[in-house]
Amino acid sequence: MKHALLFACLMLLSIAAMAIDQERRFDDPELQARYEHLISEVRCLQCQNQSIKDSNVTLAADLRREIARMIDEGKTDEEIADFLVTRYGEFALYRPRMTGKTLVLWIVPFLLVLLGVFALVRVVRHRVALPVGDDSDERQDP
């Protein structure tokens, strides 16, 4: 009985194993880590909110194959990113590189945070400057 239960549990676990398709494995763990990292950083163009690591569509599989091939050929991460960007644009990378075109993407969030801090400081200063008990600023209606 105990064995049957264990067997049943193992059968359930095997469903997860089926999800791992005939994926490329590298013998060198360092290359494997690079491969896994690269494919998690590339957007699947057909299913735009997934990385090609998570996607099962054919284009994602093709791109994984191409990336594995380039790693085999000894290409650097930079060269692999270039390969994708010349074909699909910066959009293919989850973290677009800092170039003239994408500079605004990188700078605007920091500018917005600065603006928020500036506004906050102004509001707090203004409140502090009010005499205690004077809440005229809060409620202007009679």
Chain residues that interact with another protein, rule: CB under 8 A: 45-46, 48, 58-59, 62-63, 66, 85-89, 91
Q: Quick check: 79 and 70 in contact, CB under 8 A?
A: yes
**Angle, helices 77-88/29-40, rounded to nearest 10 degrees:** 30
- Is 14 or 49 the residue whose CB approaches another protein more closely? 49
Q: Which is nearer to another protein, 54 or 89 (CB)?
A: 89
Distance of CA 11 to the CA centre of its chain: 33
Closest contact distance (angstroms) between CB of 88 and another protein is 5
CB-nearer residue toward another protein: 7 or 94: 94
Q: Can you tell me the distance from the alpha carbon of 110 to that of 89, in angstroms, rounded to the nearest whole number?
A: 24
Query: In whole angstroms, what is the distance from residue 22 CA to residue 8 CA?
Result: 25
| Residue 50 · residue 44 · CB < 8 Å | yes
Q: How far is the CB of 14 from another protein (least distance, A)?
A: 30
Residue 26 or residue 88: which is nearer to another protein going by CB?
A: 88
In whole angstroms, the minimum distance from the beta carbon of 40 to another protein comes to 18
